[in-house]
Structure 1
Amino acid sequence: MAEAGTYLYAIAQDVGHALPESVAGVAGAPVRAITHEGLVAYVSPVSLEEFGEEPLRRSLEDLDWVGGTARAHNRVVEAVAQEAPTAPVRLVTVYSTEDQVRDLLRRRHDDFAEVLAHVTGCKEWGVKAYAEPEADAAPAEEAPEESAAKTDSPGTAYLKRRRASLRCREDAWRLAARRAEDIHAALVSVSVAGHRHRPQDPQLSGREEVMLLNGAYLVAEDRREEFVSAVDALRGQGIEMQLTGPWAPYSFTSMDLGPTRAETLDDP
């Protein structure tokens, strides 16, 4: 038989809940729990012929493989998060043995407990804001000097119009950027915590508009409606907003778990 490793999905508070057998892990493997003093790690066995360091290097270049693995990983994490405060682990975190995971729970017990206490009773929500400054920029009224410039040569007149257009566009971008800052501040005010991720490239977002805000917000469950209402109240004024969630708190439970058997890939 091929040498096996232990794939780690998440660390959670141990509330005595077992995952349904229908929740399969990566490569369809069964998921099991490793417990230690109020914590539980969710793991499954994986073949090191596929998840070992060298084969993993090749697999991470296969977008279909990465996508399928990410979906299975997230399926387990979300199932766990439905039942208990959860700290998702980075995608493709593989240890040599289950004993290494037990040792991790022992060594980092207090760190995990602190992180889980921070996210207890909360979910993560995502908010993206998009804008097209060119479309939102209103044409400026003709200034006196522009009227006088009608006597300029065609080349000079073109350059003046070009400078005016660029100024209008820059003003629109500055206004949109300030608006994104205001949106983030307003949403943080009704959240436990907020984090601004790097805006996605249009090729990743699948949208022509430039993304101005890619925010993640840790929201208490008893303020969910208030948060959603805040998002709705901030819509308009030349900016389109997209709300997603609720999710397991990926953006608010990041921890350095130290070396593993295989390489790891940060969540997107």
Structure 2
Amino acid sequence: MTGIDTADGGATDSDAPGGDATGSDASAERRGAPDAATATYVFAVCRQLDPAVLGGLAGLAAGFPVRGLRFGPLAAVVQDVPAAEFSEDAWQQRLSDRAELEHCARAHHEVVTAAAACGPTAPLALATLYRGDERARQALEADTDRFTAVLARIEDHAEWGVKVYLPTPFPTSSATAPAPPLPQGGRAPRGAGRAYLERKRGLHQAREDRHDRALQTAEDIDAALSRLATAARRLRPHSPEMTGEKHRLQILNATYLVTSVCEKRLRDAVAGLRHRTGAEVELSGPWVPYSFVGEV
């Protein structure tokens, strides 16, 4: 969803001070593109901002510099963008194109990451727009207390992503074999049907046992890593159809808010869990804490 502000002065970005890269819920009815030649796109909010870190960033609109916009004690990272190219309809088309969506998300993330070099930074949702600097300043100032609380919460923290995989068992010949054919005369050998059903029951029980072990492994890993984190979020695991990896099954997809002093302990814990569980544990980060800026 976009964050274009409305004609009566309201804004459609979320009532939370930040959000993930997928967007936010609207707080008022959107009414199309701004009337001015440019709109103000807001990437993030921070306490302090060195203009030098923004130099050379392309942002989302070529020819318009990424810059800071002060509001009260805080600063927003913003960019002028052509209003016609960032209208409601234009954004819907842009976000429905996977390649274009990825381009916008990467550009947004690049700016947020650069700003985070100056200190704690709260990313705003992708497509947060206002009809000029004054409208942006008014809306952001109204949420100053929440931004301040979020920045205090994430200071000296980073987000780390963890994905855990187990090998996907290949079906055995007995798992895929049909029921034994009837011999000539139409009667199966005594006990053949019972043996077939027992094999089927055994395979079903084995699948259930593997499922239970996978769930327990995911719970154990999440519990161990959560103990090192200030906050944690469990996300929906990706299916093999989504990942395109048929040979392994994702059993945990989670993200953790971790202080900088615990980074080594986190890495060591992941290495230990790999060895202890035999699972593939993928650790990514450190990231700007996108997943934890909307919880205050």
| AA at the equivalent of 1:201 | S
Q: Say yes or no: does 1:68 pair with 2:103.
A: yes
Q: 1:99 to 1:111 in 2, by over 3 A?
A: same
Q: 1:14–1:35: 8 Å Cα contact kept in structure 2?
A: no
SS of aligned partner of 2:236? coil
**Structure with the larger helix share:** 1
Name 1:3's counterpart in structure 2: 37
Q: Which fold has the larger relative contact order, with Cα–Cα distance below 8 Å and residues 6 or more apart in sequence?
A: 1
**8 Å CA contact 2:40, 2:81 repeated in 1:** yes
- Decide which of 240, 259, 263 is 1:220's aligned counterpart: 259
Contact 2:233–2:255 under 8 Å retained in 1: yes
Residue 241 of structure 1, aligned match among 273, 281, 288:
281
**Matches of 2:135 and 2:196 in 1, distance apart?**
69
| Structure 2 length-normalised TM | 0.76
Looking at structure 1, the residues matched to 197 and 129 of structure 2 have their Cα atoms a distance apart, in angstroms, of: 60
Equivalent pairs, count: 244
Contact 2:115-2:121 at 8 Å conserved across structures = yes
* % same residue: 37
Give the equivalent residue in structure 2 for 1:77.
112
* C-alpha contact 1:133 1:169 (8 A) present in aligned 2: no
Q: Cα distance, 1:113 vs. partner?
A: 0.4
Give, as a single letter, the amino acid of the residue that structure 1 aligns with 2:284: T
Gaps of at least 5 residues in structure 2 are 1-34, 173-188
Q: Is the 8 A contact 2:49 2:68 kept in 1?
A: no
Deviations, residues 118-170 of structure 1 (Å, cap 9, x unaligned):
000011110000113536x9xxxxxxxxxxxx9512x3322221111111111
Task: Report what 1:39 is aligned to.
Answer: 74
Provide, for residues 192-246 of structure 1, a one-character-per-residue CA deviation record: whole Å limited to 9, x for no partner: 1111111123344343222111111111011110111111111143421111000
2:147 and 2:65 mapped to 1: Cα distance? 24
Report the AA paired with residue 187 of structure 1: L
Q: CA RMSD in A?
A: 2.4
Summarize the Cα distance change of 1:48–1:159 in structure 2 as closer, same or farther, 3 Å threshold: farther
Secondary structure, counterpart of 2:150 in structure 1: helix
Q: Within 2, Cα distance between the matches of 1:133 and 1:202?
A: 9
Q: Please name the residue that 2:232 is paired with.
A: 194
Change (3 A) 1:183 1:38: same
Q: Secondary structure at the match of 2:96?
A: coil
Cα distance change, pair 17–185 in 1 and its aligned pair in 2 (3 A)? farther
Instruction: Please say if residues 43 and 111 of structure 2, whose CA atoms lie closer than 8 Å, have aligned partners that are also in contact.
Output: yes
Task: Give the direction of change, closer, same or farther, for the CA distance of 1:38–1:207 in structure 2 (3 Å limit).
Answer: farther
Rate the CA distance shift 1:7–1:20 in 2: closer, same or farther, 3 A.
closer
